[in-house]
Amino acid sequence: MNAIISAPELTSDLAGATPPVLLDIRWQLSVAKAAGETPFDGRAEYAAGHIPGAVYVDLDQELASAAGARGRHPLPDTARFGAAMRRAGVSADRAVVVYDGGQGWAAARAWWLLRWAGHPDVRVLDGGLPSWEGPLETDVPTPAEGDFTPEPGTVRLLDADGAAALARSGVLFDARAGERYRGEVEPIDRVGGHIPGAVSAPTNENVGTDGRFLPAEELAARFKSLGATEGTGVGVYCGSGVSGAHEVLALAVAGIPAGLYVGSWSEWSADPERPVAVGPDPQ
């Protein structure tokens, strides 16, 4: 099953006998609050217009636990996540399509969580809402309660120690911008740099100028050139487990399974006992 779906394919599926559950995950990483600016409001964006039938899901409130020692976007409580998905109409035997405002990070987080929790059929709208050429609506749907019950363990989840070990035994990709990997700037976390042994692989290089993923063969070639060769264990981290999910999605499009370190740099760098590497060299 492909992990992504095009807008024309989604239009066709929505017109079918059993249309997918559609989730709107509009969200943006924002440091606007610290600068005194108005933070991005995904719910307001949803209210202004969304794909017909889509249900809004709040990334910070429903796809993560409160920020703390485990990072800025720790795994959500399993029971709370399951309840949120059921309220949105998610059932185990019905396909789910998720989308966001076009960056793809938030939709990928929802995709990864549902896959991690055992849902067998989840796809991301490639290119997000900007790729949608159909009508939008402002009505808020009230879907029938779903029956989805999370059963975690379907995909690989890494903790800090597991990520450190994978950086030595396989390949651990750092999905953040290169300047954050190198430690040249760090706008959010305690210290800049990267996990020793991690390889820089900015997630924005997995998409074209239109926000859609590069062809699978191009993605496979990119990751292979960075060390994801056959038989090599692959993992990903980012700042807080959101853009890293987008890289895991890109790897899935390329046919490469990968684990996600959800705590990511926000958890790793908060512990002064953990080593930090800086500069372009992985070590």
For the annotated catalytic residues, the residue numbers are: 238
SS3 for 199? strand
Tokens coding 87: 């309220």
DSSP label at 15?
Answer: T
Tokens coding 176: 């953040």
Helix 105-116 to helix 243-253 angle (10° resolution) is: 70
What span, in angstroms and rounded, lies between the C-alpha atoms of 144 and 121? Answer: 19
What span, in angstroms and rounded, lies between the C-alpha atoms of 177 and 264? Answer: 14
What span, in angstroms and rounded, lies between the C-alpha atoms of 222 and 219? Answer: 5
User: Which alpha helices (DSSP H) does 15-98 contain, by range?
Assistant: 42-48, 59-62, 78-87
Kindly provide the b/e burial profile for residues 24-34, where b requires at least 16 CB atoms within 10 angstroms of the residue's own CB: bbbbbbeeeee
Q: Which residue has the tokens 């600068």?
A: 35
Asked if 258 contacts 174 with a C-beta cutoff of 8 angstroms, the reply is no
CB atoms within 10 A of CB 94: 16
With 0-12 / 13-18 / 19 or more C-beta atoms within 10 angstroms meaning exposed / middle / buried, residue 208 is exposed
Distances in whole angstroms, Cα of residue 195 to Cα of each of 62, 111, 182? 28, 25, 10
DSSP label at 66?
Answer: -
